[in-house]
Amino acid sequence: MSSIRLTISLAAMLLTACAYQPSRYIPTVDESTVKPDLYGRFLGTSTLYFTDGDSGLMVDAYLTRESLLSNIINDIHSDREWVETFLKEKSAISILNAVVISHTHFDHALDVQSVGETYPDATIYGSEQTIQLLSNVKYKELSEPKTQFTEGNFKVTVLRSPHVEKTGSQKWVEPKLNAAMGGEAYADPGDVYSVHIAHPAASILVIPSAGYLAGYNDLEADVVFMGIGLLSNELRQPGLYNNDIDYIEEYWQKAVLDTCAKVVVPVHWDYFFSEVRDKMRSGR
């Protein structure tokens, strides 16, 4: 099995201090021996799946992880057949009420249409830019800074939040790379969102892009899935965020300490031009 399973409810019971400082250990469980009330599954980058057995919710949809060379030769595209095989057979995902797309960069949204076709009863939530990627699937457009809805047993709040800043060189290189892959549809991220998920077993905050800042002071979360992609940019280019405080410390303060999170799961750390497998490469 190529994905990592994380027990949310069990970990939340074990760790109760508000300002918990995590150790290096991230709890994982063998799915054959533990049946938690609610679990989350890492499907690569910030693509996550949550289920309690009755309801299912996905955040982001990037599953066709072709190599960079293949993307340049063939143009980046969703492999509809692979998406269905990966989700239904390899990941055994049979229940999906909704998908929330955080923004339209390809590493978050490439497979949104394929996921919608694979699970035709699921509703896809996304920005205007995300909706433009869809045809003949169920969707609802996110147009407000804060949107709340219920899908199955999940109460979902989608919060507009900034994208992580890119360095000067990244701003120069990435559009050219994107164009070389034929990825114009994914060049503009559109509005960017984080996702809070309330469930009777646990509350969850997903921050797909490491740009989470002020404005949501009343959020609480047992578990934070914390995007760390490009978070080191501040170290590469001091002053990038143009403020007096350490951006990474502020991010941790807002995302973890202020939410009283008990478990933090880093996401968007992997090199995403390769398949999800047991041993994955980190990005840079």
Residue numbers of the site for Zn ion (CB under 5 A)?
105
- Contact, 86 vs 65, CB < 8 A? no
Nearest to Zn ion of 105, 160 (CB atom): 105
149-152 long-range contacts, CB within 8 A, separation 24+: 149/98, 149/125, 151/55, 151/57, 151/97, 151/98, 151/123, 152/54, 152/55, 152/56, 152/57, 152/95, 152/97, 152/98
Q: Cβ of residue 185: shortest distance to Zn ion, in angstroms?
A: 14
Q: Which is nearer to Zn ion, 105 or 262 (CB)?
A: 105
Q: How many CA atoms lie within 13 A of 217 on its CB side?
A: 2
**Residue 130 amino acid letter:** T
Nearer to Zn ion, 41 or 105 (CB): 105
Dist CA 208 CA 60 (whole Å): 8
Least separation in angstroms between residue 104's CB and Zn ion is 8
C-alpha 265/C-alpha 98 separation (Å) is 22
35 vs 236, beta carbon nearer Zn ion:
236
> Among residues 52 and 66, whose Cβ is nearest to Zn ion?
66
Report yes or no: 39 and 51 within 8 Å, Cβ to Cβ: yes
Shortest distance, CB of residue 163 to Zn ion, whole angstroms?
A: 5
The CB-of-189 to Zn ion minimum distance in angstroms stands at 5
Shortest distance, CB of residue 7 to Zn ion, whole angstroms? 28
Three state DSSP letters for 86-118: HHHHHCCCCCCCEEECCCCCHHHHCCHHHHHHH
Half-sphere exposure of 123 (CA within 13 A, CB side): 11
Q: How many residues does the chain have?
A: 284
Q: Which is nearer to Zn ion, 60 or 258 (CB)?
A: 60
* Shortest distance in whole angstroms from residue 279 CB to Zn ion: 25
Per DSSP, the three-state class of 157 is strand
| 116 versus 208: smaller Cβ distance to Zn ion | 208
Q: Which residue is nearest to Zn ion (CB)?
A: 105
d(CA 144, CA 112): 21
Q: Least CB distance from residue 212 to Zn ion, whole Å?
A: 13
